[in-house]
Structures are given as structure tokens and as C-alpha cells.
Structure 1
Amino acid sequence: MDNSTRRMINSLAEDVLSAYNISVPIGNIDEIVEKLGGTIQKEAFFSDGAVEKEGNGFKIIVSPFQDEKRERFTIAHELGHLFLHMGYRTNNELWEKQENNIYHRIGNSEKEYQANEFAAAFLMPATEYLAVLNKVAEGNMVDTSKIAEYFNVSIEAAANRGKFLGYLRW
């Protein structure tokens, strides 16, 4: 994914947070989904999650075989598909074409990387991430578990976000 696409996705995530007055760190992500006009359904199937149009709103399906942090990231990932690839509240023409289209969290396509970027930006906006990083850093050392705890994400997700933002080294 190129830097301009990454910047656009981060900007969109911040716009969604702002437009719906969502405060970070996000507490109950299920309530956020409801606020956005969707529902969440737990169902065992071949991927961690999926999103589909349902009436004027949407439904996110998540596997019950994930821990809470993975589930939160999966839900945010599916929101990425919703806004980026389905046009929900961003592109009416694209949204109207979404009948019977289901996005599954599976594979390594460009759309999957984009949805992951949205999820990370939605759960851990860059400005907030840097503020938390500065609070927990001791010299050149950063305990990413403290960042992960603040945002209620996995240590891996917090570390990857810091690396992609250029705050942490690979």
C-alpha cells in the first residue's frame, strides 16, 4: 500500500471518529457499531469476520473463537471494508450496489491490508498513539504492552501500528 493511500485511510478513520463523536480509547465497540447503524452477530464460519449490507444498515459477523482483543480488531477491520470498499455513508452509488456482497476477513489482498490499516487507525489514531507512546517511553525503550493495554488491542497490533507510523523501529 502506498503512503497516499495510507494517509487517506487514516484520514477517513479520523473523520469517522469525529463525525460520530467516538472517543478514544474506544470502550464498547458493539455500541459503536450500533451507533453507526449496524449489528454484530457471532457465528462460526471459515473466517474471523465478515460484513454485509442489511437493509439500510449493515451486519458484522464475527467468529466466537477469538479473544476479546482479536474480536475488537476484527470488528474495526470490517468497519474498514464497510467505509472503504462498500461506500457506507461515503459513496451512495457504491453502497446501493452492495446487495449480496459480503466481505470476509481472509487472505492477503490489497483490500485486506487497507481494512487492517483502517482498523489500526480507528482503534489507535496517530495523534493519540504518539501521546500514549510519549507517556510510557523511558528513554529509547517503549513498553508496547502498555500501549496495547491503553487501546485494548493486542501487543502485536500496538507494535505494528507504531512501526507503520514510523514511531517504532522494525
Structure 2
Amino acid sequence: MVNREGISKFVSEILEKLGIDTSQSINISDVLRKLDIELKYDESLPYDGKIEKKSDDDSVCITIKSSSNNEARNRFTIAHELGHYFLHARGKENFTDSVFYRNLDYNDEEFEANEFAACLLMPEKQFREEVEKNVEESEVKIEPIAQRFGVSLQATINRGRFLNVFE
């Protein structure tokens, strides 16, 4: 299992190598384009998303369930699947992410993919800066932080807790 610090450093290196602007909300479409990863929508999926890497044509495709319901959720799902790609599919000819979490059996791969997604969408330095901007009378205003990064309130709260910025 890869630790949080290792994932955070790895994501920072990826963002830098891809030349992704972290001063604004991460443009997830730009990330996919630079990585030559196709995005598809399939409302019949029984879960939020999946990623497949095929050796026959070296293609990578992320498929997500919703194209319009919740943009913040879609962004996190795509970033989560990118976590599987970078952390679990490298060096493998074929890869389809596992369904352990979808069966309520949370495992290390799912934790790592979630941590990757949080680091990708809410880089630590920028997250801490945004928290500082949104403290009022010792209270952190979560909603503007979530809006800044284009993520859900729950993802923002989890990120803040994992970084020990929120109690």
C-alpha cells in the first residue's frame, strides 16, 4: 500500500510533468486529453465509473455513469479512476479496475485511488491556502473551498481532515 505522502508527491509530479495549472480548479478534461485517455458515459453502469487499459491497441478509457447529474461527483470519479491507472495499472498490459469497494469490501486499492483523486483535485498547498482565505471567526467555511476545487462538500471535509486542517 502506498502512503498518503507518497501519493501526494506522485500526483504533484504528474501535474507538473503535464503542465497542469493548479492556480485554478483542475481541468479534468485537460488532464485526460494530455494523457490521451478517452472518456465515455454509460448510464447502465451499476457503479460510478471504471477504467480499462487494453494491450491490443494501447488504449485507455474511463467510463462513468453520469454525464449531468453531479459535476463534482463526476470529477471525483474520473480522478479516482486516474488513480487506478497511475497506481495500479502501470506495467500491466491489460487492466480493468477491481470492484471490491462496489461490493462494500473497501480495500487498499480503493483507498489509494480516493487519495489520488483528492490530491489531484485539491493539491495540498492550494488547499491550505484556500482554507486560510475562508476562515471567519475561527470557523472554516467549507462551501467556498468545495466550489473553488469543483468537488463535493464531503470530499472537501475529508481532505481537510486528512491534512489535519479540520477537526
* Paired AA for residue 47 in structure 2: S
2:109 to 108, 111, 136: 111
1:64, CA displacement in angstroms? 1.7
1:72 to 75, 78, 99: 75
Partners of 2:7 and 2:26 in 1: how far apart? 22
For 1:168, what is the secondary structure of its paired residue?
coil
* Counterpart in the other structure of 2:149: 151
1:158, CA displacement in angstroms? 0.7
* Counterpart in the other structure of 1:14: 12
RMSD (CA atoms) = 1.7
1:7, CA displacement in angstroms? 0.6
* Counterpart in the other structure of 2:61: 59
C-alpha distance 27-120 of structure 1, shift in aligned 2 (>3 A): closer
User: Retained in 2: the 8 A contact 1:51–1:104?
Assistant: no
> How high is the TM-score relative to the length of structure 2?
0.88
User: Retained in 2: the 8 A contact 1:81–1:115?
Assistant: yes
Gaps of 5+ in 1: 88-93
* Counterpart in the other structure of 2:37: 38
Gaps of 5+ in 2: none
> How high is the TM-score relative to the length of structure 1?
0.86
2:92 to 91, 95, 99: 95
User: Retained in 2: the 8 A contact 1:47–1:104?
Assistant: no
User: Retained in 2: the 8 A contact 1:49–1:104?
Assistant: no
User: Residues 130-141 of structure 1 correspond to what in structure 2 (within 5 A)?
Assistant: 130-141=128-139
